Amino acid sequence: MKKHPIDELFARKLAEHRQEPSQKAFEKFQARLQEKQARRRGGVLAMNRNWGYYAAAAGIIAALTIGVLSQRNTNDIVVADTEKPKTGVPVQKPASPITQDNSSQIAQTNIEDKKELNTVRQALSVKSANDIVAAKRFNVPAKAPAVKEIASPIDEGSIEAIALNKPEEVQTNPLQAEILTSRNTTDVATYADNNSSITNKYNPGETVVVVITPIEETAVQAPVETETMAEKAEKEKSFLAKLYGEYKHFKYGEKVDLKGIGVKDAMAKVDDNLFKEEREDVRDFVQRRIGRMQKRE
Amino acid sequence: MTRILSLFTNEYDLARAVQRQDPKAQTRLYEKFASKMLAVCNRYVGDKMEAEDVMIEGFMKIFDKIDQFTFQGSFEGWVRRIMINEALMYVRGKKMIAVDLEYAIEEPNDAAFSTDLEAEDLMRLIEQLPEGYRMVFNLYAIEGYNHQEIGELLGISEGTSKSQLSRARAILQTKLMKLEKSVI
């Protein structure tokens, strides 16, 4: 459609026409812009005129939350502190449990290994009658390993010093057990003799110091730890886990040790009453057959 | 100024910056379109001082409604439409659209006009038109709106828009002939 000449003239001349605004217009624009921005900023605050109250409330809530959380943390720490001694009690026990452990470990040792002797210097405090009884346990097994020498009693000051070092005794005791496993028979004999002399020589309440000199401490400690770890792991296994282990042995044709896990009889016992009637029926049947055969004859 | 100019090379980048209510971008938008939009506003309002006020209001409206820009088509065209609407609202607010049918003269002929006339001369001729004629002529001849759109924008019928356009052309033709004679 053809455009009207007047329209065409004005469109061509004025479509891209520009008129420079005055500086005053620019200032007005800037003023309006700042006013607008200020209104927008003020608008945010105006929307929340009570923002101070909200901020105060938020601060109180935050403080309370922090307080409660910190209180919980301190309670946890206190609980942990109270629990620690409970778990540590067996460790801090003096000689009696230590000697019991030693006796059990000694009982499990194989004296025929006849390894090179390792000696450890160790102090055992025997204060009470229980300790003496425990000390006697060293003598009880015939296969009991030996202790090279037994020192003379020590004075009371050294007893206190030993008592202070009790945790160290606990750490060194397994080592002693391993050492004792590697004794030869002669040492066992001397150990037995010496131990018998312990109870004869020393009275209850005296401290007996057993001095054993270590040769290769680290080389000896490692297998003891692994053994104890394996034993612990074995003990910690539940009955079902043990049973499953035995089932796997059975599955792969290995020897099954059900007694080891506390099962006395592998075969189920059949109640006699269950087959009582059947047994009587069979008996009657056999008797009848015999009777018939006898009649025929 | 040159630093600000270099920041926004693309119209859409500028629009995005304005959407973020960046003051630098807003100033840049003014600097980029103010002269063109002032001319647009002046064609409708008919007074440069008033047109500047209308233009500033138009820019404020652009900053308010910038989120409505869909990044489809020309950003300048969108700005221009807002400016036109603002100018029309201003004129309506002043109730300047008084169609004086008695003022109309006969239909102009298709006589050719000299292209040597300056844009400012033509602007003056438009400014001298009655408000109603001016609105319709601007919207139809320069902005490219059709009569239906003009009728919706100005709240008049298509017939009124057509008659006003015809009469505006006649007035301009008469004045252009006078102007050419005076120049010669």
Summarised one tens digit per residue, pLDDT across range A60-86 is 999 898 888 887 777 665 555 555 444
Which chain B residue lies closest to A29 (C-alpha atoms)?
B56
Confidence class for position A120, pLDDT limits 50, 70, 90: very low
Q: Do B34 and B105 reside in the same domain of the chain?
A: no
**Of B93, B92, B80, B73, residue with least CA distance to B143:** B80
Put simply, the answer to whether A5 touches B112 (Cβ < 8 Å) is yes
Say what the pLDDT of residue B168 is: 93
Q: Do A77 and A176 reside in the same domain of the chain?
A: no
Q: Do A120 and A195 reside in the same domain of the chain?
A: yes
Q: Chain A contacts of B55, Cβ < 8 Å?
A: 21, 25
The least confident of A106-110, A218-222, A239-243, B119-123 is A106-110
Which chain B residue lies closest to A8 (C-alpha atoms)?
B141
Query: Residues 6 or more apart from B142 whose CB is under 8 A from it?
Result: A7, A10, A11, A14, A15, B43
Separation between Cα atoms, residue B72 and residue B69, nearest integer Å: 8
Say what the pLDDT of residue A35 is: 87
Q: Do B114 and B139 reside in the same domain of the chain?
A: yes
| Residue A160 pLDDT > 80 | no
In a domain, A224, yes or no: no
Say what the pLDDT of residue A264 is: 64
In a domain, A116, yes or no: yes
Q: Which domain holds residue B52?
A: 2-93
Query: Residues 6 or more apart from B167 whose CB is under 8 A from it?
Result: B101, B103, B104, B105, B133
Q: Chain A contacts of B141, Cβ < 8 Å?
A: 4, 6-7, 10-11
Dig out the tokens for A86 from the structure: 């409970």
Angle at A163 between CA A157 and CA A168, to 5 degrees: 130
**Segments of chain A assigned E as strands:** 149-150, 210-211
Q: Do B81 and B107 reside in the same domain of the chain?
A: no
Q: Do A177 and A248 reside in the same domain of the chain?
A: no
Dig out the tokens for A130 from the structure: 């229980």
Task: Determine contact, residues B37/B45, Cβ cutoff 8 Å.
Answer: no
In a domain, A29, yes or no: no
Q: Do B129 and B113 reside in the same domain of the chain?
A: yes
Q: Do B84 and B111 reside in the same domain of the chain?
A: no
Q: Which of B52, B62, B76 to mutate to test the interface with A (most CBs of A within 10 A)?
A: B52
Single-letter code of the amino acid located at A185: T
Is A14 in CB contact (< 8 Å) with chain B?
A: yes
| End position of a domain, from candidates A75, A90, A105 | A90
Q: Which domain holds residue A111?
A: 95-215
pLDDT digits over A183-230, tens only?
444 454 455 455 555 555 556 666 666 666 655 554 445 555 555 777
ipTM confidence: 0.81
3-state secondary structure of B164: helix
**Segments of A237-292 assigned E as strands:** none
Q: Do A139 and A103 reside in the same domain of the chain?
A: yes
Q: Chain A contacts of B122, Cβ < 8 Å?
A: 9-10, 13-14
Is A41 in CB contact (< 8 Å) with chain B?
A: no
Q: Do B133 and B161 reside in the same domain of the chain?
A: yes
How many domains is chain B built from?
2
Single-letter code of the amino acid located at A228: T
Say what the pLDDT of residue B64 is: 92
Which chain A residue lies closest to B51 (C-alpha atoms)?
A21
How many domains is chain A built from?
3
Q: Do B66 and B125 reside in the same domain of the chain?
A: no
Q: Which CA distances in Å does B55 have to A138, B79, B92, B137?
A: 109, 11, 16, 20
In a domain, A258, yes or no: yes
Dig out the tokens for A7 from the structure: 């329209």
Q: Do A260 and A204 reside in the same domain of the chain?
A: no
Q: Do A86 and A99 reside in the same domain of the chain?
A: no
Dig out the tokens for A166 from the structure: 């009790």
- Between positions 12 and 51 of B, the ones with CB within 8 A of A are 21, 23, 26-27, 30, 34-36, 38-39, 42-43, 48, 51
Interface A-B, measured as beta-carbon pairs within 8 A, has a size of: 99
Q: Do A86 and A107 reside in the same domain of the chain?
A: no
Q: Do A208 and A246 reside in the same domain of the chain?
A: no
Is A31 in CB contact (< 8 Å) with chain B?
A: no
| End position of a domain, from candidates B93, B114, B133 | B93
Q: Do B89 and B112 reside in the same domain of the chain?
A: no
Please state, rounded to an integer, the average pLDDT across all residues of chain B.
Answer: 84
Q: Do B39 and B109 reside in the same domain of the chain?
A: no
Alpha-carbon B43 to chain mean position: 5
Query: In a 10 Å sphere around its CB, with 0-12 CB exposed, 13-18 middle and 19+ buried, how is residue A113 labelled?
Result: exposed
Gap between the terminal Cα atoms of chain A: 140
Q: Do B121 and B71 reside in the same domain of the chain?
A: no
Separation between Cα atoms, residue A130 and residue A205, nearest integer Å: 10
Say what the pLDDT of residue A153 is: 47
Q: Do A171 and A102 reside in the same domain of the chain?
A: yes
What are phi and psi for residue A210, nearest 5 degrees? -100, 120
In a domain, A21, yes or no: no
| End position of a domain, from candidates B73, B93, B113 | B93
What angle separates helix B119-127 from helix B158-183, to the nearest 10 degrees? 130
The least confident of A39-53, A133-147, A246-260, B118-132 is A133-147
Q: Do B165 and B113 reside in the same domain of the chain?
A: yes
Q: Do B124 and B84 reside in the same domain of the chain?
A: no
| End position of a domain, from candidates B34, B61, B93 | B93
pLDDT digits over A231-289, tens only?
777 777 778 888 888 888 888 888 777 777 777 655 555 566 767 788 888 889 999 99
